[in-house]
Amino acid sequence: MPPPPAPPTVDPASLPPLSLQIHPAPILRKRAAPVPTAPFPPNIAAITARMIEMMRAEEGIGLAAPQVGLSWRLFVVDVPPAPPHDGDRSPDHAPPTATRGPRVYINPRLTNPQGSAPPVAAEEGCLSLPDIRGDVLRPPVITITALDVEGREFTQTGGGLLARCWQHEMDHLDGILIIDRFTHLSRLKNRKAVRELERGG
Residue 146 to residue 107: CA distance in whole angstroms: 6
Q: How would you write the pLDDT of the chain (201 residues) with one tens digit per residue?
A: 444 444 334 444 555 589 999 999 999 999 999 999 988 988 999 999 999 999 999 999 999 999 999 999 999 999 999 876 666 899 999 999 999 999 999 999 999 876 667 899 999 999 999 999 999 999 999 999 999 999 999 999 999 999 999 999 999 999 999 999 999 999 999 999 999 999 986
Q: What is the pLDDT of residue 2?
A: 46
Burial of 83 (0-12, 13-18, 19+ CB in 10 A): exposed
- CATH code for the structural domain at 18-198: 3.90.45.10
Catalytic residue (one of 58, 169, 196, 198): 169
CA dist 89 to 62, 95, 143, 144, Å? 16, 11, 17, 19
Among 60, 25, 24, which residue's Cα sits nearest to residue 197? Answer: 24
User: Quick count: other Cβ atoms within 10 Å of Cβ 148?
Assistant: 13
Looking at residue 73, the DSSP 8-state letter turns out to be: S
Among 55, 8, 45, 51, which residue's Cα sits nearest to residue 151? Answer: 45
CA dist 199 to 22, 75, 150, 192, 193, Å? 12, 28, 41, 11, 10
CB 191 within 8 A of CB 179: no
Among 67, 15, 55, which residue's Cα sits nearest to residue 176? Answer: 67
Residue 41 to residue 87: CA distance in whole angstroms: 40
Residue 3 to residue 145: CA distance in whole angstroms: 27
Clarify whether 59 is annotated catalytic.
Answer: no
Looking at residue 81, the DSSP 8-state letter turns out to be: P
Q: What is the pLDDT of residue 201?
A: 61
Q: What is the pLDDT of residue 7?
A: 39
CA dist 17 to 13, 64, 198, Å? 10, 15, 23
